[in-house]
Amino acid sequence: MIKTSVTVLLLLMIVDFCKSYNLKVPESCRSYFHDSRYLSLNNIYDRVPFSTWQKIIYELYEQYPVPDLSIKITKHANISCAGLTGYLILARENLYQAAMDFIYYERLIVDYNSGSLKVKNDLIEFVWSDFHEKAGLLVDEVIVFTYIEIARQIIDPQELKLEKISFYYDKPENSDFYEKILGCPVHFNSPIISVVMSASHLESIRLPTKDPILYKILKQEANRHILDLPSNHDFEQRLEICIMHCIKEITLNNVANYLNISTHTLKNKLFQRKLNFNVCVNKVRKKLAVTYLENEKLTINQVADLLGYSEQSAFQRAFKSWMNITPLQFRKNLKQEDIQS
State the helix-helix crossing angle for 83-90 and 95-105, rounded to 10 degrees. 160
Amino acid 235: pLDDT? 77
> What is the pLDDT confidence band of residue 94, given thresholds at 50, 70 and 90?
very high
Amino acid 186: pLDDT? 93
For domain 5-204, the CATH architecture is Alpha-Beta Complex (3.90)
Cβ 118 vs Cβ 127: under 8 Å: yes
> What is the pLDDT confidence band of residue 231, given thresholds at 50, 70 and 90?
low
Label the pairing between strands 186-187 and 162-166.
Answer: parallel
Amino acid 334: pLDDT? 81
For residue 10, pLDDT beyond 90: yes
The predicted model gives 45-49 an average pLDDT of 94
Q: At residue 209, what are phi and psi to the nearest 5 degrees?
A: -95, 10
Of the two residues 289 and 294, the one the predictor is more confident about is 289
The predicted model gives 39-63 an average pLDDT of 94
From CA 2, how far away is CA 47, in angstroms rounded?
8
The predicted model gives 191-217 an average pLDDT of 92
From CA 67, how far away is CA 176, in angstroms rounded?
10
Q: Where are the domains of the chain?
A: 5-204, 233-341
For residue 155, pLDDT beyond 90: no
Q: Which amino acid is at 247?
A: I
Amino acid 180: pLDDT? 87
Amino acid 130: pLDDT? 66
Cβ 308 vs Cβ 249: under 8 Å: yes
Cβ 48 vs Cβ 111: under 8 Å: no
The predicted model gives 288-305 an average pLDDT of 87
Amino acid 109: pLDDT? 96
DSSP result, 69-96: HHHHHHTT--GGGGHHHHHHHHTSSBHH
State the helix-helix crossing angle for 212-228 and 95-105, rounded to 10 degrees. 20
The CA-atom distances, in angstroms, between 219 and each of 105, 108, 244, 247, 260 are 9, 12, 16, 17, 11
Amino acid 339: pLDDT? 59
For residue 210, pLDDT beyond 90: yes
For residue 189, pLDDT beyond 80: yes
For residue 260, pLDDT beyond 80: no
Of the two residues 279 and 135, the one the predictor is more confident about is 279
For residue 11, pLDDT beyond 80: yes
> What is the pLDDT confidence band of residue 131, given thresholds at 50, 70 and 90?
low
From CA 157, how far away is CA 144, in angstroms rounded?
16
For residue 301, pLDDT beyond 70: yes
Counting residues of the chain whose pLDDT is more than 70, the rounded percentage is 96
- What DSSP designation does 249 have? G
Of the two residues 171 and 36, the one the predictor is more confident about is 171
Amino acid 61: pLDDT? 96
Q: For 63-67, 89-93, 170-174, 299-303, which range has the lowest pLDDT when averaged over its residues?
A: 170-174
Q: Which residues pair with 5 in a beta bridge?
A: 49, 111
From CA 274, how far away is CA 327, in angstroms rounded?
30
> What is the pLDDT confidence band of residue 225, given thresholds at 50, 70 and 90?
confident
For residue 276, pLDDT beyond 80: yes
Amino acid 292: pLDDT? 85
Closest CA to 17 of 146, 119, 204, 161: 146
The DSSP H or E segment spanning 191 is none
> What is the pLDDT confidence band of residue 230, given thresholds at 50, 70 and 90?
confident
> What is the pLDDT confidence band of residue 51, given thresholds at 50, 70 and 90?
very high
The predicted model gives 253-275 an average pLDDT of 88
The DSSP H or E segment spanning 156 is none
The DSSP H or E segment spanning 250 is none
Domain 233-341: which topology?
A: Arc Repressor Mutant, subunit A (1.10.10)
